[in-house]
Structure 1
């Protein structure tokens, strides 16, 4: 997709569309899912969704991955005792899901294919217009990966409690 097409998509993907798909009830379900999933592993999950980027950012070439990495920092997902934060970022205008993982999650040794499979779980739901199911699917998939590759170092207390808010971030 060229820059003008992308700019158009970002300009017309209104916050109204975001609010239509991510209603207060859907946001409550996302929060409850994060809370429940975090009881099964020591990782910390944040879920963020954004309708579109500013046109300045689009024309500057800011991509979904770079935006997700910026938000990973801005939302302080990195700021956990065991570096075990995971950000799930949805950029609706680009129809992209990015998963950014802190270095303490299995020492960075989780195969990228596993994170890609998590993102695909959400994409299937979103493509079908089932945004609640897609969000729940990606959170549960990420949770399964975190349970399989627990964050933390040997000899270190594996879970220090709920360090990050469970509520989703709507940008």
Structure 2
């Protein structure tokens, strides 16, 4: 069944809306947090923000979770040497956060742990504090990865640390 309200939100939300919630200083702070995080574990984080989805795809039933899965591949999060990539995906129009981990991580970390981090981020976002929610999300992911995948001497930086803004 088509969710008309959701289709309208994705149709009429301005594509530049991400700039209000994530100004350059916030993006830089998140990038630095990701960089610092990756010194504490052997995982690779990729932070992606998307304002809206293509309205036709929303009307066809594309969920934010499905879009996160598409971006996991498109951003090559799955392409790390040890299969330890993690995608943090923010869908602003749907007000959802999805955290997806590669198969090397999923062997040891249940999706429920990622969902708890995502829910904490969403709680901060509902209060309008996008930077704090993002930084706490990176901290939560860091704690999980450091517990299961501690840093080792060969710890290359395989994915960009700066958040990516997805446009269409």
TM-score (norm 2): 0.92
Alignment match, 2:83: 83
Matches within 5 A, 1:25-64: 25-64=25-64
1:97-144 CA-partner distances (Å, limit 9, x unpaired): 011100111x52312221111101211110110011111111111111
Task: Give the gaps of 5 or more residues in structure 2.
Answer: none
Distance 1:79 1:62 in 2: 24
- Within 2, Cα distance between the matches of 1:53 and 1:92? 9
Following superposition, the deviation at residue 160 of structure 1 comes to 3.3
The 5 Å alignment of 1:119-130 reads 119-130=118-129
Structure 1 unaligned blocks of 5 or more:
none
Write the distance in 1 (CA, Å) between the matches of 2:60 and 2:158: 34
Task: Measure, in 2, the Cα distance between the counterparts of 1:104 and 1:55.
Answer: 34
C-alpha separation in 2, matches of 1:151 and 1:7: 43
Supply the distance in 1 between the matched residues of 2:136 and 2:7 (Cα, whole angstroms): 29
- Compute the displacement of 1:148 (Å): 1.4
Divergent runs of 4+, >3 A: 157-160
Aligned residues: 166
RMSD over equivalenced CA pairs, Å: 1.8
Residue of structure 1 equivalent to 2:71? 71
CA distance in 2, matches of 1:87, 1:10: 22
Change (3 A) 1:102 1:15: same
The answer (yes or no) to whether the contact 2:100–2:114 under 8 Å persists in 1 is no
1:21 paired to 2:21: yes
Using structure 1 for the length normalisation, give the TM-score: 0.91
Q: Distance in 2 between matches of 1:80 and 1:150?
A: 14
